[in-house]
Chains A and B, each alone.
Chain A
């Protein structure tokens, strides 16, 4: 049935692709938007978590008697109040999933602590002051263990092992001894070591990247309420209400039918709010004290072990080319610092770093390593910026050796549609060549870099991110006035409700103002995976196109009945069905629903699953000035080129690119966790962990390229993740072009830049 709606691209879009304000912008600028911390329920009490002061220790005992006796304290919990979960019980989350024993350990340590800040107990009290006072009365007896503060210590032969049951995955034969290396991944084709050894020119680089934080401005927060039937409602700041519900239910041993997760506005997530942090603990406390419980993390808690930051890394890359500038080999070794529990597979970041080059010989080997630091979480294209910091610098160094312009080198070696990805499957339609042509034509590349008080340079770096699809669900009910009421199953992190309202308006041919759109809670809309992996706009568009068609199909049958015509004889456009012959009868959706509301509800449903990937590709150009007296790097100009398939809303797309680039620049130059040898974070405040202010960054220029993804509604690609991938490499390459020195530690703080300059002088002398 090809009648409804008009196939995408068959006519010019009227709403999709327009620069429209967010549907919720007024609430955001007036302070009306509700975040979980804004909730106050009658009788609500307050919870605080007691956190481990040690990075590695056995818990010998916890005595909560004194805390319980403090007036105003209503409940105290420890791991003993939660079921012990076996290793390997997975919560679905796309291809990887979350192992519940780890989710439980993030929320409440059992027997051992693996990082400073890991929760060991929780208190609910009448007010926050009493809860805080009670924490000091809980006596935990620890047997300290040697601290494994970093990757190098963790992989040493005699390293203390963090987890007795973790054996390195991905090596044959299966190891007999437990290890801090949780998994090993190998992606190879051809013979990269041999090609590297014999190539005309090669470049090698080793980088280390500090752990950094997603930096969402809203700390983790939850409000939990349990009713007289034992039904729990959780208001959370989460990237996925269904994932959170599964995790909370398992951690409590509660049937999912007894639990509802309501996602309110999210004050930033960036990957750090996929796993639960305290939600199940708040529910347990609420069950015990029979009152609503609110748990709000302080900023120090967020930074000092209360949330998962992004993985640090040690990465070595070697690349080689023939004399004519043809890339012949890439070899990379990626060691990722997962923190205190096994982390994400390094496979995606390894692939990302090499995907944009056609190269016959490839050897990428990755290791997921545990250390006594907070368990890391995803951060916007997880691992992409770390890997690109190594790979794109190596490529740039190779260009310098070859004496080839770095843009020209990329043009010669760029992956095109049909090129093999690192895992051996061919690329679907990609627009990398178009992007490189656009860079070539742009003034950011052709303008002179200019002369300043200090040396200046221009850097180029590419970025790739695969993204994911997973599943999204939505339904549309038609109101009595004919207007579409849309409920989506994904949390709005990036303006989803606004772009999705545009899609529905386009499909219905009505103004966007007529669309009401909301995010459903975990009991009012179909299962959808979390908002992550640049998947929501693409997959929800597909789900909504299906839901619109479903609703319009039902409406068409009704219209045919009312107009007494065969349904095939009707055309639908602009919110009305019309008989196809000239001067024929017509009925608007409003008239139709007014005439037929009591004949039954019209509900259109749509589900997207296994949508083709919408891989993200970008190229960034940046100019810097390097103060060679202080090491301070100033970014003078920054331009990001990106293929987005189709920009549903160019303002939203630019917003994603601008914000993502600035996060990348923050990590590139300012942001890094400073851990002591005892595993304690020494800069656990937003003064000492410096995120970029408006004065630290220049205007970010975005150039949008549109190469639609085949067989995907509107051809939409992922947008939000890839722009964080190139910035550190682009800055590093600009620094190298400015001062002839490569800075291999990230963030590239003034002292590190100065150190690199002095090191180079020392070597030259």
Chain B
């Protein structure tokens, strides 16, 4: 049996039929076709499927699709503004903070939540914010560096009133 669910994802309203057993991750990937959010474990241990749920980072595999109505979901597809990358994305590109790329979307969203709450994070703040996102390729150096660089770039832009 399918259920009709209406929700807002990346600022767009979607109405889709879901299986009551579907997770938010399945809703995003299989019903709406937003495949940028990846599944690494399906039980909340790897952080690969991190999305923002009303601004809070959550594992989309731990949220039921039926819980989505009434909430604002931000996925990796909604982070860049058209061709203009978010400072976090730009820094990951420039520093080399993405390798196989499978964990990258989740890390971008964890970092986005961090910088929204704390524009001047310390290295420990950054490591804590992404501690729920496993990365097997980078050893985290360049991810941490990129988030620090993005924070600095954002602060500079704000200081200059841009």
Q: Are A697 and B140 in contact (CB under 8 A)?
A: yes
What is the CB-to-nearest-CB distance from A280 to chain B, in angstroms, rounded to a whole number? 23
Residue from A19, A24, A662, A694 in contact with B127 in the complex, judged by beta carbons closer than 8 Å: A694
Chain A, Cβ-Cβ closest to B19: A129
* Given A21-B93, A693-B134, A695-B128, A659 and B99 contact (CB-CB distance below 8 Å): yes
Chain A, Cβ-Cβ closest to B99: A655
What is the CB-to-nearest-CB distance from A469 to chain B, in angstroms, rounded to a whole number? 23
Q: Are B100 and A694 in contact (CB under 8 A)?
A: no
What is the CB-to-nearest-CB distance from A418 to chain B, in angstroms, rounded to a whole number? 34
Chain A, Cβ-Cβ closest to B96: A651
Residues of A within 8 A of B140 (CB): 658, 662, 694, 697
* Given A30-B77, A686-B45, A694-B131, A654 and B136 contact (CB-CB distance below 8 Å): no
Interchain residue pairs A-B with the least CB separation, the first 10: A31-B36, A267-B102, A28-B101, A658-B139, A31-B76, A662-B139, A38-B35, A686-B45, A651-B96, A299-B41
Q: Are B143 and A694 in contact (CB under 8 A)?
A: yes
What is the CB-to-nearest-CB distance from B144 to chain A, in angstroms, rounded to a whole number? 7
Residues of A within 8 A of B77 (CB): 30-31
Taken residue by residue from 283 to 304, chain A's Cβ proximity to chain B (1 for < 8 Å, 0 otherwise) reads as 0000000000000101100000
Q: List 27 A-B contacts (CB under 8 A).
A: A21-B94, A22-B98, A26-B85, A28-B98, A31-B34, A32-B36, A216-B100, A217-B100, A217-B134, A218-B40, A267-B102, A268-B102, A651-B142, A655-B139, A658-B139, A658-B141, A659-B138, A663-B136, A686-B46, A694-B128, A694-B135, A695-B127, A695-B128, A695-B131, A699-B141, A700-B139, A700-B141
Question: Is the C-beta of A685 less than 8 angstroms from some C-beta in chain B?
Answer: yes
Chain B, Cβ-Cβ closest to A662: B139
Question: Is the C-beta of A445 less than 8 angstroms from some C-beta in chain B?
Answer: no
* Given A30-B36, A658-B142, A686-B41, A268 and B96 contact (CB-CB distance below 8 Å): no
* Given A658-B138, A662-B140, A30 and B76 contact (CB-CB distance below 8 Å): yes
Bound: A506/B75 CA distance, A: 38
Question: Is the C-beta of B42 less than 8 angstroms from some C-beta in chain A?
Answer: yes
Taken residue by residue from 113 to 143, chain B's Cβ proximity to chain A (1 for < 8 Å, 0 otherwise) reads as 0000000000000111011111111111111
Bound: A371/B144 CA distance, A: 41
Residue from A28, A35, A658, A693 in contact with B131 in the complex, judged by beta carbons closer than 8 Å: A693
Q: Report how many residues on chain B are interfacial, defined by Cβ distance under 8 Å.
A: 58
Question: Is the C-beta of B66 less than 8 angstroms from some C-beta in chain A?
Answer: no
| B39, B100, B128, B134 interface centre (most CB from chain A within 10 Å) | B100
Bound: A694/B47 CA distance, A: 12
**Interface residues, chain A, with chain B CB atoms under 8 Å away:** 19, 21-22, 24-35, 37-38, 40, 127, 129, 214-219, 265-268, 270, 296, 298-299, 493-495, 651-652, 654-655, 657-663, 685-687, 691, 693-695, 697, 699-700
Bound: A38/B105 CA distance, A: 14
What is the CB-to-nearest-CB distance from A266 to chain B, in angstroms, rounded to a whole number? 6
Q: Are A29 and B104 in contact (CB under 8 A)?
A: yes
What is the CB-to-nearest-CB distance from B42 to chain A, in angstroms, rounded to a whole number? 6
Bound: A35/B135 CA distance, A: 16
Q: Are A25 and B98 in contact (CB under 8 A)?
A: yes
Bound: A149/B101 CA distance, A: 36
Q: Are A219 and B139 in contact (CB under 8 A)?
A: no
Chain A, Cβ-Cβ closest to B77: A31
Residues of B within 8 A of A661 (CB): 139
Residue from A217, A299, A651, A697 in contact with B95 in the complex, judged by beta carbons closer than 8 Å: A651
* Given A37-B38, A267-B102, A663-B136, A29 and B89 contact (CB-CB distance below 8 Å): yes
Q: Are B101 and A267 in contact (CB under 8 A)?
A: yes
Bound: A686/B41 CA distance, A: 7
Bound: A694/B34 CA distance, A: 27
Q: Are A267 and B39 in contact (CB under 8 A)?
A: no
Residues of B within 8 A of A657 (CB): 139
Given contacts A34-B35, A35-B38, A694-B143, 7 further A-B contacts (CB under 8 A): A29-B85, A29-B105, A217-B46, A217-B135, A299-B46, A651-B95, A694-B131
Residues of B within 8 A of A19 (CB): 96
Bound: A659/B135 CA distance, A: 9
For chains A and B in complex, what number of residue pairs have CB atoms within 8 angstroms? 175
* Given A299-B42, A495-B99, A655 and B134 contact (CB-CB distance below 8 Å): no
Residues of A within 8 A of B102 (CB): 35, 216-218, 265, 267-268
Question: Is the C-beta of B43 less than 8 angstroms from some C-beta in chain A?
Answer: yes
Question: Is the C-beta of B73 less than 8 angstroms from some C-beta in chain A?
Answer: no
Bound: A33/B141 CA distance, A: 22
What is the CB-to-nearest-CB distance from B95 to chain A, in angstroms, rounded to a whole number? 7
Residues of A within 8 A of B21 (CB): 129
Q: Are A31 and B43 in contact (CB under 8 A)?
A: no
Bound: A217/B38 CA distance, A: 9
Question: Is the C-beta of B92 less than 8 angstroms from some C-beta in chain A?
Answer: yes
What is the CB-to-nearest-CB distance from A545 to chain B, in angstroms, rounded to a whole number? 24
Q: Are A268 and B136 in contact (CB under 8 A)?
A: yes
| A214, A266, A655, A697 interface centre (most CB from chain B within 10 Å) | A655
Bound: A699/B139 CA distance, A: 8
Question: Is the C-beta of B7 less than 8 angstroms from some C-beta in chain A?
Answer: no
Question: Is the C-beta of B79 less than 8 angstroms from some C-beta in chain A?
Answer: yes
Bound: A687/B40 CA distance, A: 12
Bound: A693/B126 CA distance, A: 12
What is the CB-to-nearest-CB distance from B91 to chain A, in angstroms, rounded to a whole number? 9
Residues of B within 8 A of A216 (CB): 100, 102, 136
Q: Are B105 and A31 in contact (CB under 8 A)?
A: yes
Residues of A within 8 A of B96 (CB): 19, 21-22, 25, 651-652, 654-655
Residues of A within 8 A of B161 (CB): none
Residue from A27, A34, A217, A219 in contact with B136 in the complex, judged by beta carbons closer than 8 Å: A217
Q: Are B95 and A30 in contact (CB under 8 A)?
A: no
* Given A693-B132, A694-B140, A299 and B43 contact (CB-CB distance below 8 Å): yes
Chain B, Cβ-Cβ closest to A665: B139
Chain A, Cβ-Cβ closest to B39: A37
Chain A, Cβ-Cβ closest to B132: A693
Question: Is the C-beta of B80 less than 8 angstroms from some C-beta in chain A?
Answer: yes
Residues of A within 8 A of B67 (CB): none
Bound: A214/B134 CA distance, A: 13
Residues of B within 8 A of A21 (CB): 93-94, 96
Chain A, Cβ-Cβ closest to B143: A694
Chain A, Cβ-Cβ closest to B79: A30
* Given A267-B102, A651-B142, A687 and B42 contact (CB-CB distance below 8 Å): no
Bound: A298/B61 CA distance, A: 12
Chain A, Cβ-Cβ closest to B21: A129
Bound: A657/B139 CA distance, A: 8
Bound: A270/B137 CA distance, A: 9
Q: Are A218 and B100 in contact (CB under 8 A)?
A: yes
Residue from A28, A296, A655 in contact with B104 in the complex, judged by beta carbons closer than 8 Å: A28
Chain B, Cβ-Cβ closest to A661: B139
Bound: A127/B46 CA distance, A: 25
What is the CB-to-nearest-CB distance from B98 to chain A, in angstroms, rounded to a whole number? 4
What is the CB-to-nearest-CB distance from A400 to chain B, in angstroms, rounded to a whole number? 30
| B30, B43, B88 interface centre (most CB from chain A within 10 Å) | B43
What is the CB-to-nearest-CB distance from B136 to chain A, in angstroms, rounded to a whole number? 5
Q: Are A25 and B42 in contact (CB under 8 A)?
A: no
Q: Are A40 and B131 in contact (CB under 8 A)?
A: no
Question: Which residues of B (140-161) have their CB < 8 Å from a CB of A?
Answer: 140-144
| B30, B103, B108, B141 interface centre (most CB from chain A within 10 Å) | B141
What is the CB-to-nearest-CB distance from B81 to chain A, in angstroms, rounded to a whole number? 11
* Given A30-B77, A494-B99, A686-B134, A217 and B104 contact (CB-CB distance below 8 Å): no
